[in-house]
Amino acid sequence: MERPAWAPRSIDISVPSVARIYDYYLGGSHNFEVDREAARRAMEFIPGLPKIMQANRAFMRRAVEFALDEGITQFLDIGSGIPTAGHVHEIAQAARPGARVVYVDHDPVAVSHSQAVLEGNENADVVAADLRKPREILESPPVQRLLDLNRPVALLLVAILHFVEDADEPYKAVARLRDALAPGSLLILTHASYEGIPLPQERTRAAVDVYRDIRNPLIMRSREQIARFFEGYEMVEPGLVPLASWRPRTALEDEDPYAFSGFAGVGRTA
């Protein structure tokens, strides 16, 4: 298999990556055949996976625009993945040229590609770090340089927490990040769930097994379990809802049923 120029030498391109699988679902070009094969296997059970990812990305855009309307111009996007078109810095800096964005990912391809995309952008940077180690993120040079934690920050945890197992204490990590943020900060979050997927749970489970087989287990949590991540936040209307139901721009009856899979919400620190 030929290694493309954008793929760091250090990565094993024979092993699928959730960041590159997500890129494939969104129609991106930064993925390998091994990623496409895993994505197609999962889609045999949930054919609407690309639609779910598109609904997830559309929610993120609406939430970033909401943050900007609230006067927030600092963004910390953890588990940011490969910056396909319409990523946080593009949305934020188009509306507020001085907006500052720090991306965080532990996938070397995501980090390497982000570095290439952000070259020359003085108000955006990327950190190679893991959500499970919040202190490393908060103490990283890009966060220290670009974000003023004494002013409100929009923290994005979009489609990341369902890859963190309970044994890795995701609630504790999210609480540590919350405690580092100034009052008036926002948590922008999405999470996979069996609830809302328009298929029998056995079919969905088979797709979840594909992720387990590539050693990136997908942890499906209930709405109640997802709501716990917002402890210490006041929910912004309409609360924790299916992806397409959060402040939609178009009539919901026009939406594909898969767009209501999983949950999305925004919370504000007091």
* pLDDT score at 8: 67
- Tell me, what's the pLDDT at 1? 60
Q: How many domains does the chain have?
A: 1
Residues 14-67 pLDDT 10s? 889 898 999 999 998 888 899 999 999 999 999 999 999 999 999 999 999 999
pTM here is: 0.94
- Whether 12 is covered by a domain: the verdict is no
Does 13 reside within a domain?
no
Closest CA to 127 of 154, 147, 151: 147
Average pLDDT over residues 110-115: 89
Average pLDDT score over the chain:
94
11 assigned to some structural domain: no
Position 253 scores a pLDDT of 77
In a domain, 185, yes or no: yes
Q: Are 19 and 109 in contact (CB under 8 A)?
A: yes
pLDDT attached to residue 73: 98
Distances (CA, A) of 212 to 18, 42, 83, 149, 226: 11, 11, 25, 36, 20
Full residue range of the structural domain in which residue 133 is found: 18-269
Measured CA to CA, the distance from residue 242 to residue 51 in angstroms comes to: 13
pLDDT score for 6: 65
State whether residue 173 is helix, strand or coil.
helix
Cα gap 226→187, rounded to integer Å: 13
Is residue 214 a part of any domain in this protein? yes
Q: State the Cα–Cα distance between residues 22 and 39, nearest whole angstrom.
A: 8
Question: So what's the pLDDT on residue 7?
Answer: 67
Domain assignment present for 170 = yes
